[in-house]
Amino acid sequence: MTEREPGFLGVEGTVHPIVQVGDPVLSTRCAEVTEFDEKLHQLLADMFASMYAADGVGLAANQIGVGLRVFVYDCPDADQVFHRGVMINPTLVPPAERHLDSDEEGCLSVRHQFHPLARPDTATVTGFDHTGAPIAASGDGLLARCLQHEYDHLEGMLYIDRLSARARKKVLKAWAEEHQAL
Ligand code: ZN
């Protein structure tokens, strides 16, 4: 397992609250990053700190209220090998062969709720690192699910938006009951 280093490039991150479903920032397509500067590095450090504090394996910038096309992850693949990375202005590359995997999915923005969702069992994302250099990330297992899930966030989509209307309603009802009790 990788070191759960909460910062990024020596920058100390601040833990932010995770925005919950219903906030428009989660349903709005995020904007492209144009400046690969210290402000971006601080955002990345804050995102890692917030993701680890919430015990997540991936986090999109809009989940801490920043509408930029950025996500971070520290997530195991099918062999339980953890991959830690950042992805800026990503593009999701469709798999050459599509095999679906139906597994439980959850989201820090729909706290404590899970529902099975079928997704391609491998995923490749291309984009840019913190310096603006082109990078690619691919994986299987939970990592494949995570890359697709975080990409969806930047498009303004939650995993519950991919469920049937009935299943979505059920998840939201359970979330609301717990949320109101907090
Ligand atoms: Zn999520």
Is it the case that residue 59 has pLDDT exceeding 50?
yes
Is it the case that residue 2 has pLDDT exceeding 60?
no
pLDDT single digits (tens) 79-138: 999 999 999 999 999 888 889 999 999 999 999 999 999 999 999 999 999 999 999 999
Mean pLDDT over each residue of the chain, to the nearest integer? 95
Residue 39: how many CB atoms within 10 A of its CB?
9
Report residue 145 CA to chain centroid gap: 10
Instruction: Tell me how far the alpha carbon of residue 147 lies from the centroid of ligand 1, in angstroms.
Output: 10
C-alpha distances out from residue 95 to 43, 46, 78, 102, Å: 30, 31, 17, 16
CA distance 78 to 85: 17
Instruction: Tell me how far the alpha carbon of residue 19 lies from the centroid of ligand 1, in angstroms.
Output: 10
Question: Which residues are catalytic, by number?
Answer: 150
Please tell me the predicted confidence (pLDDT) of residue 3: 55
Instruction: Tell me how far the alpha carbon of residue 61 lies from the centroid of ligand 1, in angstroms.
Output: 10
Please tell me the predicted confidence (pLDDT) of residue 182: 64
pLDDT single digits (tens) 146-156: 999 999 999 99
Instruction: Tell me how far the alpha carbon of residue 153 lies from the centroid of ligand 1, in angstroms.
Output: 7
Q: Would you place residue 180 in the very low, low, confident or very high pLDDT band (cuts 50, 70, 90)?
A: confident
Please tell me the predicted confidence (pLDDT) of residue 32: 98
Going by C-beta distance under 8 Å and a sequence separation of 6 or more, which residues neighbour residue 118? 100, 101, 102
Please tell me the predicted confidence (pLDDT) of residue 79: 98
Q: Would you place residue 1 in the very low, low, confident or very high pLDDT band (cuts 50, 70, 90)?
A: very low
What the chain holds in terms of domains, given with CATH numbers, is 24-181 (3.90.45.10)
Average pLDDT over residues 52-60: 97
Average pLDDT over residues 26-33: 98
Is it the case that residue 13 has pLDDT exceeding 50?
yes
